[in-house]
Homo-oligomer: A and B are copies of this chain.
Amino acid sequence: MSTVQGARARARIEVTAAIKDEARKQLAADGATRLSLRAVARELGMVSSALYRYFPSRDELLTALIVDAYDAVGEAAEQALARQRAAASPAARWTAVCRAVRAWALAHPHEYALIYGSPVPGYTAPEATVGPAARVGLVLISIARDAHQGKGIAPPPLAAPLRAEAERMAADFAPDLPPAVAAALVAAWAQLFGLVSFEVFGQFHRVVEDREPFFAQAAEQLARSVGLVLPA
């Protein structure tokens, strides 16, 4: 264990990356269920059993890809937020993040499907995916938190039956926000991916043609639904 790695350690890192890259390529070509260790090995000029030096099973390789995908879309969201100027309005930050998520999804449709599509049958996500999976949501929460500490936020109506659950949500992952905002954030989070999924999965085929402004408007409306657009 040295900081300057030996040839073996370096090779291991490189081959692991090459396997994941090739697996991603096959994901993009055929989808997650068609991903096969043998095909990956074949393409890399290795024998299929050699992959077992790097991933103990097909499922472990899938998990690695899932974690990478969550991290990639999470990072896209975080960077979009970071690129906003300090003076940018909460709504502007919100839509910038939404756009970044959409752009990433359109650029990586199969990796998107891997994490936001139907669960892969027979595969159950291990705990390792929980953290990365939360990143986009955390970015959205942070925008609301900043707004709340700044010029304020306009909490949406909160129906009585949802009060208790909204308070629990707020306590769990946004203790400084009004419960109504916490609940609205979770709903908006799901709705954002509804918009993206419909576009990526083809449901907008022959329904929405000019998709950029359509999405921008919907994202803006989501910002309104969580109270980021203050009433005039």
Contact = CB atoms under 8 A, between A and B. Distances in A.
B208 A197 contact: no
Contact of A121 (B30, B210, B225): B30
B198 A190 contact: yes
A110 to B, nearest CB: 8
Interface string A197-214: 111011110111110111
Contacts of A117: 117-118, 201
Contacts of A125: 202
Q: How many copies does the complex hold?
A: 2
A158 interface: yes
What is the interface of chain A mostly: helix, strand, loop, or mixed? Answer: helix
A154 B161 CA distance: 26
B169 A216 contact: no
A87 interface: no
A45 B128 CA distance: 43
A89 to B, nearest CB: 15
Interface string A157-173: 01101101100110001
Interface in A116-149: 116-122, 125, 130, 133, 137
A63 interface: no
A218 B187 contact: yes
B190 A34 contact: no
Contacts of A165: 208-210, 213-214
Contact of A197 (B184, B197, B209): B197
Contacts of A164: 210
Given A114-B118, A117-B201, A125-B202, 20 more contacts: A31-B118, A31-B119, A31-B121, A116-B201, A117-B117, A119-B202, A161-B216, A162-B213, A162-B216, A164-B210, A165-B209, A165-B210, A168-B209, A186-B204, A186-B207, A189-B198, A190-B199, A193-B194, A193-B198, A221-B225
30 contacts: A31-B118, A31-B119, A32-B121, A33-B121, A118-B201, A119-B201, A119-B202, A130-B206, A137-B207, A158-B217, A162-B213, A162-B214, A165-B208, A165-B213, A165-B214, A168-B209, A173-B207, A184-B221, A186-B204, A186-B208, A187-B218, A190-B191, A190-B194, A190-B199, A190-B218, A191-B195, A192-B194, A194-B195, A194-B198, A221-B225
